[in-house]
Structure 1
């Protein structure tokens, strides 16, 4: 038994119409890669799936507790080549994350390995757990208060 997916049918129809009419829109398509966010004692790690994206086409910006990732996966539309099926997503991508103040955006590290962009945000120094030493103070001398006797006549 074959499962019917109306959205797949609509998508394929849209792709066929684009091919027939030349798809002359100037607006690039958008894609939304999967994102994983993990937190541990050291900080926050965000992983984005960006297979096939040239690292030169990835831009990461951090400002005012906001982290923005932009990327573009280009589609090669060669002349004389007919696309029978295009299922991979192409185009531009932009995603913004609100980052709590307990993470230090100035120490953001970004690496791209095997199609995965990894962003590492360490905890800020102010948010790290610290043990404060309590100092015992002994022989505290209280200041003497001298009162001068005055005779009023």
Structure 2
């Protein structure tokens, strides 16, 4: 029976709150999947200035922060559902990831993080050694 190892299994906290003044909205929607020897985390951040995106990793805690500037209107607001302000989300990552090799890109409103599995955590085949000469069996009389 094969055992599936998932370093994200150790996530002890998942913060999906928006740090906004006076109001809250839905968390940053994200997808997470494994692709070969790395994980891909895609976070929806539409309308965010790419210069305001901050991604950091400290002691296995991955923090994503971004800011959406509020739109000013000359007239009177009739409907205002789009959130603005600073958004933040934190993930506690499991062991076995190469945290010093995380890469990030922002395209079409989606922040994509690539998180490699550490070399020592990758599955490997272990060769079994055996003696080269065959064992002789003597027939009894």
- Going by fraction, where is strand more abundant, 1 or 2? 2
The alignment status of 1:104 with 2:98, answered yes or no, reads yes
Give, in whole Å, the separation in 2 of the partners of 1:98 and 1:121: 13
Name segments (4+ residues, structure 1) moved above 4 Å. 28-31, 133-138
Q: SS state of the match for residue 51, structure 2?
A: helix
Q: CA deviation at 1:136?
A: 6.2
Instruction: Return the match for 1:116 from 110, 113, 119.
Output: 110
User: 2:48 and 2:75 mapped to 1: Cα distance?
Assistant: 22
Task: Please state whether the residue corresponding to 2:89 is helix, strand or coil.
Answer: strand
Structure 1: segments with no counterpart, 5+ residues: 1-25, 139-153
* Residue ranges of structure 2 left out of the alignment (5+ in a row): 1-19, 133-141
Match of 1:149 in 2: none
Greater RCO between the two (CA within 8 Å, min separation 6)? 2
More helix by share: 1
Q: Which has the larger radius of gyration?
A: 1
Per the alignment, residue 52 of structure 1 pairs with: 47
The answer as to whether partners of 1:103 and 1:121 remain within 8 angstroms in 2 is yes
Aligned equivalents of 1:28, 1:70: Cα separation in 2? 18
Match of 1:75 in 2: 70
Give SS of 1:126's match.
helix
- Give the TM-score normalised by structure 1: 0.64
Deviations 1:59-107 (A, max 9, x none): 00011111000011010225x3322111212111111001111111100
User: Number of matched residues?
Assistant: 112
**Coordinate RMSD, CA, aligned:** 2.3
The 1-side partners of 2:62 and 2:56 are apart by 6
Residue 36 of structure 1: which of 31, 45, 69 is its match? Answer: 31
Q: Secondary structure at the match of 2:33?
A: strand
| Displacement of 1:29 | 4.6
